[in-house]
Structure 1
Amino acid sequence: MRKLPLLIAAILVLVLAFIPLFRQQNSIRQQEEYPDKDKIIIVYDNKALSGFKSAWGFAALVKFKNYTILFDTGGNGEILLNNMERLNISPSSIQYVFLSHIHGDHTGGLWAILRENPNVTVFLPATFSEAFKERVRSFGAKAVEINNPREILEGIYTTGVMFPVGEQALVLKTSKGLIVVTGCSHPGIVKIVERAENITGENAYLVVGGFHLFGAPEREVRAIATSLKKLGVRRVMPCHCTGSRAERVFAEEFGTNYVECGVGKSVSW
């Protein structure tokens, strides 16, 4: 009879030891059951989680409804593909590529993607050079030129080309509000969000991407954060060219609704 308490104790130890494994397996099963959950995954950025490569530039994989869109392509195709591989993202899964603007840190990785998967549609500003457009088509990909704001896929919009630079942003129409994805925000992040709201008639919920505020004074950044809140923006994920000082200000202004950016990170809604 004395052995019974020892046996019970041993069984409890074994059960406790296997609980983390059961939880891990359940988490994996949930990921398998919901592989297409709407989310944005950062695949190229100046910052990265351990195991990923960082570089100056930006790219994000957008999974929304039944669409898989690569927003921008970073500056280096090898780094982009390496990060995607570590995230188990196959180039063949990409249906559309959305290019925000012509700068090389947003378009440089495109050719590596097209070599792996030419069966994509590339949405690009009409202001891109004819040589660039022809090179896209030379891979067998379809190039769709964008001028004005419009719906490009069900529930997915482009702001149309905005100046300076000639930049477009991606807008997703969700049940929580608009998700606005930006490349560098050369036209101004507030103007981009205003354009997105004017196009759809809805408020923005989440803004992700480069805000182009490195070097901007703190007072200016706080004013921008305030303007975004007034437009209805609830959450922000500043990336790439936002700048560390501006990121700190946004973190203070949005608190728990601030999402830190970096390769390997994702945001859902």
Structure 2
Amino acid sequence: MMANHSLRSVDRFAVTFLVDNCIEWMTKLPPGFTHEVKLHLADNPPIDDVTGAPFLDLENYCCGAHGFSALIETQVGGEASHFTLFDTGPDSRAIARNVAAMHIDTHKIERIILSHWHSDHSGGMLSFLRIRTQSASQEASRSPCVVDLHPDRPVARGISVQGKVIGRLPNDPTFDEIRELGGVPETHAEGHVVADGTVWVSGEIPRVTDFESGLPGAVRWLENEGKPDWVAEEHIMDERYAAIDVAGKGLVLFSACSHAGIVNVVKDAVAQFSRPIYMIIGGLHLAGTDLVPRIEPTVDFLANRLRPAPTYVLPMHCSGFAAKVALEHALGEGCVPAGVGHKFEVTGDREAEKLIFAPTIQ
């Protein structure tokens, strides 16, 4: 079924990765990607007093953390750019350090999209809102930051092994905590466009792929008619993805954890928009021995069954080493070793729209 809200194609798209598990400074990247070191050396770096050479100020570079956060910039023609933050990482320190390291103007960010209620994606939210409030000018402080959330916030989530809960995730931010720091909670269970129509935030992701069966061992704390207890919740149904349509290129998909399965995400995006997939970004959740059987059919779908295949796949966060190796083998340089501190920019091509055709799934 096609999307109910019109997603505008953009003439410029950029993304800066503010939180990811990996730091990658040296591997070759495709055109349009920039390493963090190059960004720092090109932006008025400190000069060494002894040698006169630019100084690699590692104390103020990005740090890795188990989580995800990406700053999305979208622009149509000569209109103003829109800045959207997709997830905020796992803790208060990583997002703060990396925002400072990448010289992000936080007051320009109009909206935070939370992909799902897991603290490795929500843990930096309050820290970010605090930084935004403290750094904003008087004029900017009058522009609130919308926080786009699924309405079904859990009391607690955890992980169980063989029926025993071995760990409880930290609390997600509450709506009141968000308001206290200047955020404006906005809840959506259905798909909708934001950033003046340039970013699509999905609703519930249909689970149609037989081998993608959620997060093994996931549990949620429920009252259960006055008897609190942990209950199995492997499907994480509040998870959402984001999509941007780059003119002449196709869809850029942000799937922060892919608990729904990246194949299910791609199938839904194709059904919604009937556009080729240009780029897949984020955690594919294929790490760990329990998920190894999903790697081969996932890679086969992306490399062979989806036509055209994605131009780029950026397996980040929870994708896992084995999945990255398999994707690199299947896609070659189309599998990009992205990490925190990287930036990617692409310009749309309205003329190339004539060559765009609807994707097929074999």
TM-score normalised by structure 2 residue count? 0.61
The one-letter amino acid of 2:153's match is F
Amino acid in the other structure paired with 2:62 = F
Task: Provide the C-alpha distance between the structure 1 equivalents of 2:311 and 2:100, rounded to a whole number of angstroms.
Answer: 32
> Identity over the aligned pairs, expressed in percent?
26
The yes-or-no answer on 1:155 pairing with 2:198 is yes
Unaligned runs of 5+ in 1: 1-35
Report deviation, 1:236: 0.3
Corresponding position of 1:188: 261
Contact 2:24-2:338 within 8 A present in 1 as well: no
Q: Is the 8 A contact 1:182 1:211 kept in 2?
A: yes
Give the secondary-structure state (helix, strand or coil) at the position aligned to 1:268.
strand
CA spacing shift, 1:214–1:70, aligned 2, 3 Å = same
Q: CA RMSD in A?
A: 2.1
Match of 2:324 in 1: 247
For 2:239, the equivalent position in structure 1 comes to: 167
Q: Is it true that 1:139 corresponds to 2:181 in the alignment?
A: yes
SS in 1 for 2:187: strand
**SS of the residue aligned with 1:127?**
coil
Work out whether 1:199 is the aligned partner of 2:272. Answer: yes
Structure 2: stretches of 5+ with no match in the other structure: 1-10, 26-60, 76-80, 134-143, 156-172, 208-234, 347-362
The answer to whether the 8 A contact 1:159-1:192 is kept is: no
Q: State which structure, 1 or 2, has the greater radius of gyration over its C-alpha atoms.
A: 1
Aligned equivalents of 1:116 and 1:107: distance in 2? 15
Which of the pair has the greater relative contact order for Cα pairs under 8 Å at 6+ separation? 2
Q: d(CA) in 1 for partners of 2:202 and 2:269?
A: 6
> In the superposition, relative to structure 1, how do residues 257 and 64 fare at CA in structure 2: closer, same or farther (>3 Å)?
same
Give the C-alpha shift of residue 141 in structure 1.
1.6
| Larger relative helix fraction | 1
* Aligned residue pairs, count: 234
2:244, 2:252 within 8 Å by CA — same for their partners in 1? yes
Range with bigger deviation, 126-135 or 171-180: 126-135
Q: Is the 8 A contact 2:286 2:294 kept in 1?
A: no
Indicate conservation of the 8 Å contact 1:222/1:253, yes or no.
Answer: no
1:52-67 matched pairs, under 5 angstroms: 52-65=62-75, 66-67=81-82
After superposition, the C-alpha distances for 1:187-235 in whole angstroms (9 at most, x for unaligned) are: 1001011111212221211000000000256663232122124333221
Deviations 1:93-130 (Å, cap 9, x if unpaired)? 21111110111110000001111225211111121259
2:201 matches 1:128: no
Matches within 5 A, 1:1-269: 38-49=13-24, 51-65=61-75, 66-117=81-132, 119-129=144-154, 132-153=174-195, 154-162=197-205, 164-165=235-236, 166-175=238-247, 176-215=249-288, 220-229=294-303, 230-231=305-306, 232=308, 233-269=310-346
TM-score of the two chains, using structure 1 as the length reference: 0.80
Q: Name segments (4+ residues, structure 1) moved above 4 Å.
A: 216-219
2-side partners of 1:244 and 1:268: how far apart?
Answer: 26
| Alignment-derived partner of residue 9 in structure 1 | none
CA offset at residue 39 of structure 1?
1.4
